[in-house]
Chain A
Amino acid sequence: MDDLFATVFDDLVDRAEERLALLAIIGPLLPGVRLAIVDRQGQVVGDLPETSPAILAPLLRRAQEGSALVSAENARGERRYAFCLEPPDTLVFSLPVSGGDISADPMQAQLCLNTFQLALARRGQNEALLESAQLHRQIEVLKKQHVHLIDDNHEQYLLLQKREKEYAKELEKEIARQTKELRAKNRELEAASRLKSEFLANMSHELRTPLNAIIGFSGLLIESELSAEQDDFVQTISKAADNLLVLINDILDLAKVESGKLDLASEPVDLAALARSVSAMLAAQAAARANNIRVHVDSALPPRVLGDEVRLRQILINLVGNALKFTEHGWVDIQLKKGEGGGDQVVFEVRDNGIGIAHHRLQAIFEKFTQADGSTTRQYGGTGLGLSICYQLVTLMGGQIVVESAVGTGSVFRCLIPLAGVKVEKATPLSAESAAGPVAAFKQAGSIAVLLVEDNLVNQKLARLLIQRQGCQVEVAADGLEALARLQDKKFHLILMDIHMPNMDGLEATRKIRLLEGLAAESMKYASLGGGTARIPIIGLTASASKEDEQNCYEAGMDGFLTKPINKEKFVETLNGYRQKRSA
């Protein structure tokens, strides 16, 4: 028995049982054997007759000294053998055979010990079996743990998946929340931007009215008798006012585009004529800086395309004007050709050999109030709005504008704009009257009576002067009501009607006039609406130049539409148009 085991199980071990178990094994091997187990306290378990303590004590001592078989003789000459079974237990036994001392003969002693060892080994076998069973249990535990680990693993996988899903959901929620916030912010910003644009549009309108007076009167002043110095002053005022008008128009245009109020017309446009007229218009400006404008129109282009001529012209003027500004002793090419991508793309290319733009400035060039270099503003003037307007207009037309440039070599601005060709019916060139000039034809026409309906005193004065200079009679009414009264009293041939007026505005007055014209009996009361005769032409005059205003004018029954500040040439042209119609 092991020491440790003995310590632990001393109280539990039943040596009688152990002896019986041992006897069961050894009995068949050594028939007639009798045995006893003696523990460390000298307790004897088993039957050993005729063995006095006097014999047993030295026998046990000798046995516990080593592993050898020892023996002693009792009083009857019988031998008692002993050996250390499993420390601290000692086995004492007797054999039925009488005769010599087995322990004295090494061979026999060994044989005897071996027999007992065999018996013990058989018992040990049992131990080994149990040990193996324990190992098996441990293996089973490990197997279970292994399965558990795999289950755990799966569970963990599911848990993580769930967490991830929850996280994704959270994320989604957060994104949705932020998106909502951003959208709201965006709406706010859009509203603010729209308000700003509307404010700009209103401001422009308010600015144009006084400018109308400045431009108009300085124009008239130039035509009067002036000293050289005075003439120079007035020229300066006139030029400055013109520049201011361009700037205000630009701002208004931008504001209109940005507030979505710019409507594009779709009418046949002669591209070649357009390019030539722009070239002609800017020829003087080119000459001033010793530049040469050249025009190339690709013959493959349709002669006419559907588009907004005014805006296309504006784009070209801006681009060419810009090119001229930054070029000296050089050339500016206007090239119109078909887009390479096929379809209806038309390329408007404006190329110069001017100072060019540094690469890093190219990005910003289409932004508002930006020039390639802050210093260029001082050197070359301009507001920096021109290119921005071009960009906005081209974009509005569904096209794109690109720029290539190299410092010292020049720049190329290229607009690609989708413009569908017009099926040619008869290739009538646009009337040449603009080239001939409207003023020339006018003197021959007869005089007419014009009713000017305008509340603003300055505008009254200006328009009156312009009309009188054309050799026409003019009378002024301050609002719609007064106009109706005048029409009753006198025969007028043309009405120039302001829109915004107190008491009765221009639109209402026009509607009233058209209504009266329709009623034969009523119209007889009006000298100007003489019953049944052709209806009296009414031309709107307004500082608010939106498409919507124009539409309103026509709907009210007007026949034409002029914007303020009054462009002298256009004014005269329109006036003459009606004059000629009348005399025809």
Chain B
Amino acid sequence: MPSAQTLVHKFNDLKTLPHVAIRVTQLVNSDAATMKDFEEIIKLDPILVIRLLKLVNSPYFGLVNRVESISKAVVYAGMKNLRNMVAVEALRNLFTEDDNQEFSRRQLWKHCATVAILARMIAERLFGLAGEDEFLAGIIHDIGLIIEDQLAAQELREVARLYRSGTEVITRYEDEIIETNHCKVGGLLVFNWNMPPEVVEAIKKHHDQDKVYPVPSITSILHIAEYIASRVNCGAVQGRQDPLPPYLTSHMKSRMTDYKVLIKDFPAEMAKAEELYREEA
């Protein structure tokens, strides 16, 4: 059976991240990139342009005047917002409708979006962080599952079945049946896309139950967001939830009221995101 590396290679032969996403990620990493360069790329994709204008005109930006020009919107949004937006568009297309009872890509997409929004909320509200990298980590953290679904669909369904009825973490079953797991595969793929190292790290470790990660860090925030998502029935695989590592349980308990306030605002945030990323006609 394949190693993570082989899976990633095979996957890249099948599907590549759209040119726009690759360029934008490169630009974010480049010191010499100007917003003009971003504008030139975003302009190529009408869907991105619509998203971008929606984004900067959303209450989140609280601008007095409506922004109509792409160049202005690009400047308002900032590089990381642009990168996230492009990543969302690129990945959404990978989560094509291919439902079955064992494993649903649509469900997975909903899970990723939920985790992303929660991760950003936690970063912003509890820790006063910008939350952009956390959002990105949330959106792409389960990309490994997509690859496995693409290249080892039968095995993945077996994994899902075992997981649902078992007690172990999902990666344990993957290692057993697929001989690799979506954390490894996803981490490798995202590394090749030149994502920030902290994001790559979080993706590799997001099912790591035994280690203690600093709070806050993208990895620990991703863990918490994943936990909350699964509690609101938005897990990657429905029907079972992984427990929270003990150090995060005590963290959440200690800031229970904070989380209570956050959860109260979660449906509204989710609705905003749904509005922003709603499929255009």
Q: Report A's interface with B, CB cutoff 8 A.
A: 2, 4-5, 7-9, 12-14, 126-127, 130-131, 133-134, 137-138, 140-141, 144-145, 148-149, 152-153, 156, 159-160, 163
Contact = CB atoms under 8 A, between A and B. Distances in A.
24 contacts: A4-B263, A4-B266, A4-B267, A5-B260, A8-B263, A9-B256, A12-B244, A12-B253, A13-B256, A126-B257, A127-B257, A131-B261, A134-B125, A134-B258, A134-B261, A137-B124, A137-B127, A137-B128, A138-B124, A140-B128, A145-B130, A149-B75, A152-B78, A159-B34
Contact of A5 (B78, B131, B264): B264
B232 A145 contact: no
Given A134-B126, A148-B78, 7 more contacts: A2-B263, A4-B267, A7-B231, A9-B256, A126-B257, A134-B262, A149-B75
B32 interface: yes
B212 interface: no
Nearest to B62: A142
Contact of A141 (B33, B75, B124, B260): B124
Interface string B256-281: 11111111101100000000000000
A141 B129 contact: yes
Given A2-B264, A7-B232, A12-B253, A141 B130 contact: yes
B149 to A, nearest CB: 28
Nearest to B131: A141
Contacts of A138: 124-125, 128
A130 B257 contact: yes
B34 A156 contact: yes
B249 interface: yes
A4 B267 CA distance: 9
B115 to A, nearest CB: 14
Most chain B beta carbons < 10 A, residue from A8, A9, A127, A153:
A8
Contacts of A133: 258
Contacts of A127: 257, 260-261
A8 B263 CA distance: 9
Most chain B beta carbons < 10 A, residue from A7, A137, A153, A163:
A137
A137 B253 CA distance: 20
A14 B253 CA distance: 9
B228 interface: yes
Contacts of A8: 228, 231-232, 259, 263
Contacts of B130: 141, 144-145, 148
Nearest to B36: A160
B128 A141 contact: yes
B35 interface: yes
Interface in B235-265: 244, 249, 252-253, 256-264
Contacts of A5: 259-260, 263-264
What are the 9 A-B residue pairs with the smallest beta carbon separation, nearest first?
A137-B128, A134-B125, A8-B231, A131-B261, A130-B257, A140-B128, A159-B34, A5-B263, A141-B124
Interface size bucket, B side?
A: 20 to 34
Contacts of B262: 134
Contacts of A9: 231, 252, 256, 259-260, 263
A130 B33 CA distance: 40
Nearest to A127: B257
Contacts of A145: 78, 130
A224 B261 CA distance: 134
A395 to B, nearest CB: 52
A145 B264 CA distance: 25
Interface in B29-50: 32-36
Nearest to B81: A145
B210 to A, nearest CB: 20
B126 A137 contact: yes
A130 B131 CA distance: 19
A163 B129 contact: no
B243 to A, nearest CB: 8
A141 B122 CA distance: 12
Contacts of B264: 2, 4-5
Nearest to A140: B128
A159 B257 contact: no
A134 B259 CA distance: 10
Most chain A beta carbons < 10 A, residue from B79, B258, B266:
B258
A5 B131 CA distance: 22
Interface in B1-55: 32-36
Nearest to B60: A142
A441 B259 CA distance: 134
Nearest to B32: A159
Contacts of B228: 8
Contacts of A131: 261
A130 B75 CA distance: 33
A88 B36 CA distance: 55
Nearest to A137: B128
Nearest to A124: B257
Contacts of B249: 12
A394 B259 CA distance: 97
Interface in B127-149: 127-131
A474 B37 CA distance: 95
Contacts of A137: 124-128
Interface string B194-234: 00000000000000000000000000000000001001100
A130 B35 CA distance: 37
Most chain A beta carbons < 10 A, residue from B36, B124, B128, B130:
B128
Nearest to A10: B231
A432 to B, nearest CB: 86
A564 B119 CA distance: 106
A262 B168 CA distance: 107
B232 to A, nearest CB: 6
Given A134-B261, A137-B128, A138-B125, A156 B35 contact: yes
Contacts of B257: 126-127, 130
A127 B262 CA distance: 11
